[in-house]
Structure 1
Amino acid sequence: MTMNSSALSMRLYIAALFFGSSTQVFALNTATIVSSVLSPACLEYRVVGICYWLYCTPFGCTVRTSVKVRHYVPDAVVSSYANTGENPWVEVRVMSLPNTTAQAGGDGTTNHDGENNLARFKNADVIGHPAGDVFSRFASASGYTCTSAGMAFIPYLLSTLDTVAWRFNLPEMAYPEALTPGMREIGGRSTLNLWGSVYPRGGFLHQSDDYKAGAVVAQRAGDIVTRRGQIHVYQPLLANAHDGYWPAGELLEGDASTGKWQELTPTLSSNCAVFPHNNAQVQAQQGDYAWALWRPYACCQRRGQTFLGSTDFQ
């Protein structure tokens, strides 16, 4: 899992030309998404400790060590969009076409100019990030790399199949998280930067800013798929820990140590952030947004039959 320096330099050069600081994107396709993973800022590769392994042969046993690393992996592409069947990632639109229980979309309206408290609706899809081999080669240039929980193009959540929970907020509209102000919110009321609440984890919310509405819905979708046993139609985007492997866990709003977001459209960013953030927020013309969800993994190379433990650096 190595890459010579000239090949890596060429990839980073291409990425720099591709990204600039932020590139306007009108049609999001797989090639664009794959290119977006060449981001050292999102990767955030670190050596964080040492692992200990017991290695035995017929002649005796010795303790071997390996480096423990931690880095982020682009697990999934999370799309948040107004019109059912119009996922901004064009190649996967067929996965979430309108059906008998999920049609139309868009925002509420009273036909009054200046209205700013309308109910907005967003569909959401969580689909395995397609970068795969490109990301592995890019990340392995830094050293040993960890395996993602996500599989390319696998749908983990399609809101068109989650109709009862996504369009009617059942049963989460009665959850304490949905009824208690200040609980599970993105941003804060005291800082006058409240983007919205995580619960109920459905497609409706009141938010005058369309970008922020899209981000809240993406956070809701990410919240669902990174937990087991939720009352939604989905499959968990989780891996099981094993010797020398510590996969990402539950996503928590505002906490970069659980995951962070790379904007893919309407602008393509080379950086990652959590919601809320103060970065430039471009409003999508059709109300469709997409982010790559990067999550942290830790791992070390197996160097023996028995894992004895690990020590993390301060």
Structure 2
Amino acid sequence: MKSRIPRRLRLGAAIALLCGATSSLALNTASIVASALSPDCLEYRVVGICYWLYCTWGGCSVRTSIKVRHYVPDAVVSSYTNTGENPWIEVRAVSMPNPTAQAGGDGTTNHDNENNLAKFKNADVIGHPATLAFSEFAASFGYSCEGAGSAYMPYLLSTLDTLAWRYNIPEAVYPEALTPGMREIGARTTRNLWGAVYPRGGFLHQTDDHKAGAVVAQRAGDVVTRRGQLHVYQPLLASSRDGYWPAGALMETDASTGKWQELTPRMSSSCTVFPRNGFLTQAQQGDYAWALWRPYSCCRRRGQVFLGSVDFL
């Protein structure tokens, strides 16, 4: 007898079981692909109606299509201490040490009385490998939107961005880096300040290694979701077109611009923003990775001319 459980629910249950089973294993492509089948991160919604002008030899008419909004796993963002040791095993070879970027490590042993010393993290932003599996998963909810990321494409490798990543040139003198309270992840008033987005490099002061990794991941995501930054990178952005509204610049603490799914050291089936509440698993080797999910809206083309769209309240 054929199961009556909807396919998307079965997929969600499967990924929840897989996440629990792989929490202690090395991060590999298979586990990353499976993690993308997350209804919580997808957050699929019908948000409006699109209007199209459809014309034939017999005349013209206005057709409509639904406008949907959901998140897409655009990239895997790794944040790790030892150069050349990206926790995603299959892509380590693309960010090995070179003459301008060698070694790694921290300037602290994580003792609370040493919080004046710096920590360092490399960062890689690489296209999420689940393009085909995710497309099928999202399509099970209805019409789906494509993201900006291409599978396995390196958008930022900190080993090639030495001047900015290791020396904070020129961002050390940016107003965002010199002004306390600007572009911070969390807040001092809530006693939950994880760190500042600027300068967007690998050094920061943070006694909690997980929080340090998250701040560096946010910095890398901030760079690649903007054009014209003084870094060595490729923009992780799509261009808008009729019936397609891609994600814009990533902003810290704002889920409407993007959210994070932890991949290691603990695989999660849900997404959040930094800072977050709850227990933070510390990586033994100082290596962390998150999937960066970004919001996209789109509607099916039903005519030659796009007339506009109306969003539901």
Q: In structure 1, what is the equivalent of residue 275 of structure 2?
A: 276
Pair 1:16 & 2:19 matched = no
CA contact (8 A) 2:171 2:199 kept: yes
Residue identity matched to 1:24: S
CA contact (8 A) 2:108 2:115 kept: no
After the TM superposition, which residues 150-189 of structure 1 pair with which residues of structure 2 at under 5 Å, given as runs? 150-189=149-188
In the TM superposition, what whole-angstrom CA distance separates every residue of 1:202-245 from its partner, at most 9, and x where no partner exists? 00000000000000000000000000000000000000000000
CA contact (8 A) 1:258 1:295 kept: yes
SS at match of 1:124: strand
Q: Distance in 2 between matches of 1:12 and 1:209?
A: 32
Q: CA deviation at 1:280?
A: 2.0
82-91 or 111-120: bigger deviation: 111-120
Distance 1:6 1:67, change over 3 A: closer
Distance 1:113 1:41, change over 3 A: closer
Q: In structure 2, what is the equivalent of residue 28 of structure 1?
A: 27
Distance 1:113 1:71, change over 3 A: closer
Residue identity matched to 2:15: A
Q: CA deviation at 1:24?
A: 2.3
Q: Distance in 2 between matches of 1:110 and 1:291?
A: 24
Residue identity matched to 1:260: K
Q: Distance in 1 between matches of 2:281 and 2:5?
A: 36
Pair 1:119 & 2:108 matched = no
Residue identity matched to 1:222: G
Q: Distance in 1 between matches of 2:208 and 2:42?
A: 29
SS at match of 1:137: helix
Q: Distance in 2 between matches of 1:306 and 1:188?
A: 47
Q: Distance in 2 between matches of 1:71 and 1:118?
A: 41
Q: In structure 2, what is the equivalent of residue 140 of structure 1?
A: 139
Pair 1:237 & 2:236 matched = yes
In the TM superposition, what whole-angstrom CA distance separates every residue of 1:289-312 from its partner, at most 9, and x where no partner exists? 000000000000000000000000
SS at match of 2:114: coil
CA contact (8 A) 1:12 1:38 kept: yes
In the TM superposition, what whole-angstrom CA distance separates every residue of 1:229-285 from its partner, at most 9, and x where no partner exists? 000000000000000000000000000000000000000001100000003210000
Q: Distance in 1 between matches of 2:23 and 2:267?
A: 6
Q: CA deviation at 1:37?
A: 0.8
* Gapped regions of structure 2 (runs ≥ 5): none
Q: CA deviation at 1:25?
A: 3.1
Cα RMSD between the aligned structures?
Answer: 1.7
TM-score (norm: length of structure 1): 0.95
Q: In structure 2, what is the equivalent of residue 91 of structure 1?
A: 90
Q: Distance in 2 between matches of 1:110 and 1:239?
A: 42
Pair 1:300 & 2:299 matched = yes
SS at match of 1:42: helix
CA contact (8 A) 1:223 1:252 kept: yes
CA contact (8 A) 2:22 2:31 kept: no
Q: CA deviation at 1:113?
A: 8.6
Q: In structure 2, what is the equivalent of residue 194 of structure 1?
A: 193
SS at match of 1:24: coil
Distance 1:248 1:280, change over 3 A: same
SS at match of 1:41: helix
After the TM superposition, which residues 211-250 of structure 1 pair with which residues of structure 2 at under 5 Å, given as runs? 211-250=210-249
145-154 or 105-114: bigger deviation: 105-114
Deviating beyond 6 angstroms after TM superposition, the runs of 4 or more aligned structure 1 residues are 110-113
CA contact (8 A) 1:23 1:269 kept: no
Q: In structure 2, what is the equivalent of residue 103 of structure 1?
A: 102
24-33 or 52-61: bigger deviation: 24-33
In the TM superposition, what whole-angstrom CA distance separates every residue of 1:42-87 from its partner, at most 9, and x where no partner exists? 0000000000000000110000000000000000000000000000
* Gapped regions of structure 1 (runs ≥ 5): none
Q: CA deviation at 1:19?
A: 2.6
Q: Distance in 1 between matches of 2:108 and 2:276?
A: 28
Q: In structure 1, what is the equivalent of residue 130 of structure 2?
A: 131
Residue identity matched to 1:156: Y
In the TM superposition, what whole-angstrom CA distance separates every residue of 1:171-203 from its partner, at most 9, and x where no partner exists? 000000000000000000111111000000000
Residue identity matched to 1:136: S
Distance 1:208 1:47, change over 3 A: same
Provide the identity percentage.
74
TM-score (norm: length of structure 2): 0.96
